[in-house]
Amino acid sequence: MKSRWCLELYVDLLPETVKEQSKEKQTFITFLTTSRRALWSGFHCYDQCCSQPAEVEHPDMPRGLSCLSSPEGADGRYETPPASELHRLMWTKKGTSNHLDEVQPRIYIGDMYAAKDKRTLQAHHITHVLNAADGKFNVNTGPSYYRDTKITYHGVEAFDMPSFNLSPFFYPAANFIKNALSSPTGKVFVHCAMGLSRSSTLVLAYLMIHENMTLVDAMKAVSANRNISPNEGFLEQLRELDKKLHCQGSSRSWSANGRT
């Protein structure tokens, strides 16, 4: 029933000139279900969105599809790889493990030692610090620690445990990074305790949300410059984000083309 509802919804979204070619909606739905390409173009993805609603609080979320450089299904569409494949992708990349590494232009990932070394941060002209291990029982710096440096601070009190839900912080952290880079001289340092799991997860989420990357493309870009290792729980949360963003991007693209 859910799939049929999605089919009927997409029929309603089609141009009137197209719908008029079918005398009955039932006939048109039957035609659509026989077309594998049409199935994926819209209502299969919409069916997936129905079963797991996408984030509606960000209606203008940008998203691009990187099918040429990412895993493809049998029919050429992008599919979020299983966690085992993502682990293998990270293991095959030979990044570095310094206290601080530039993983993308003006985006740095590092550990708590670099976070507490204000001279190092100033030497790299860091203007913003995103602490993914904020709090008394983590890397307890806070905005007061950087008061004499003109560094803008944002803290996320997260714990590096698979059971910890980091996904509610994806958009606030991504927006903080985006705002930091909005200035031509802005540079952001994202850190946790070791610069492996929490910090890398937030940077990956930023690249997916604001730089139109798939999870695979984001992991390739970051792990080429630094060794990263999001824990199992964070990796699954990134996979869910990847699916939602891909579904939203596909649905909007199909709807826009159908209304032209």
Q: What is the pLDDT of residue 251?
A: 53
Which amino acid is residue 150, in one-letter code?
K
Longest Cα–Cα distance in the chain: 73
Domain ranges in the chain are 98-247
Active-site residue (options: 6, 45, 49, 192)? 192
Return phi, psi of residue 157, to 5°: -85, 85
pTM above 0.85, yes or no: no
45 is known as an active-site residue: no
User: What is the C-alpha to C-alpha distance for residues 181 and 175, in angstroms, rounded to an integer?
Assistant: 10
Q: Which CATH superfamily is domain 98-247 in?
A: Protein tyrosine phosphatase superfamily (3.90.190.10)
145 DSSP 8-state letter: G
Each residue's pLDDT tens digit, 33-58? 433 333 333 333 434 443 333 343 44
132/108 Cα distance (integer angstroms): 13
Q: What is the pLDDT of residues 202-253, one digit of tens each?
A: 999 999 999 999 999 999 999 999 999 999 999 999 999 999 998 887 654 4
Residue 128, classed as helix, strand or coil, is: strand
User: Nearest to residue 239, comparing CAs of 99, 107, 85?
Assistant: 85
240 Cβ contact partners less than 8 Å away, ≥ 6 residues apart: 52, 167
The strand pair at 100-104 and 107-110 is best described as: antiparallel
What spatial distance separates the first Cα and last Cα of the chain, rounded to whole Å?
Answer: 29
DSSP category for residue 193: S
